[in-house]
Amino acid sequence: MGYEVVMMGASAGGMDALKTLLSGLEEDFHLPIVIAQHISAHSDNYLITYLNSHSSLFVKEAEEKETLKSGCVYVCPPNYHLLIEEDKTLSLATFEKVNFSRPSIDVLFETGALSLKKAAIGVLLTGASHDGAYGMGMIHAFGGMTVVQDPETAYVANMPEAAIKSTPVDYVLALDDIAPFLNTLSRAQLKG
């Protein structure tokens, strides 16, 4: 069984990190991407517009009960948690903040790990909190792949450092190396 989803989490500095990462993905990148980016509860859709302008993939706001589709990028809407269900659909929730955040990266990563197990990839990027560290541990525990941005290339190193200290991480990569790495995985899976 191959990989079925790439989950990404980012906080402070995440907009630029996501732009760099998504702009480096090839047009035929086939895995769905689901993103939890810490944003204000009152944000408009600027993040979607911004990422769409820098990516050959289609970037959209995630919707309730939406089925994950190949080559599509789903961004969590402001003031919601984003969950991946066992039937590979997305759910939005408004329960209490986790790690002072809604959306919480841990919520996305944990539900993706529980639903997709070995088929999940987690990518944790720049950020000032420790959100995502627990979720990376869950992805690892269920046999998925964990990728963390090298803290030296992060706008704020706290989040990647917290993950590296708290859980076994498969790959620690400079920001510019993450997209080429994911492209290689995607190409190998398409050939296989």
Sheet holding 145-149: strands in order across? 58-61, 72-75, 33-37, 5-10, 120-124, 145-149, 171-173
- Is 11 considered catalytic here? yes
- Is 44 considered catalytic here? no
- Is 131 considered catalytic here? yes
Q: Residue 127 is encoded by which pair of tokens?
A: 């950020």
11, 104, 115, 129: which one is catalytic? 11
81, 106, 115, 131: which one is catalytic? 131
Report how far apart, in Å, the C-alpha atoms of 121 and of each of 6, 34, 49, 115 are: 5, 10, 25, 12
The DSSP line for 33-90 is: EEEEE---TT--SHHHHHHHTT-SSEEEE--TTPBP-TTEEEEPPTT-EEEE-TTSBE
164: left (phi over 0), alpha (psi -120 to 50) or beta: alpha
DSSP symbol at 91:
E
For residue 112, give the amino acid letter: G
Residue 23 to residue 133: CA distance in whole angstroms: 25
Tell me which residues are annotated as active site.
11, 38, 131
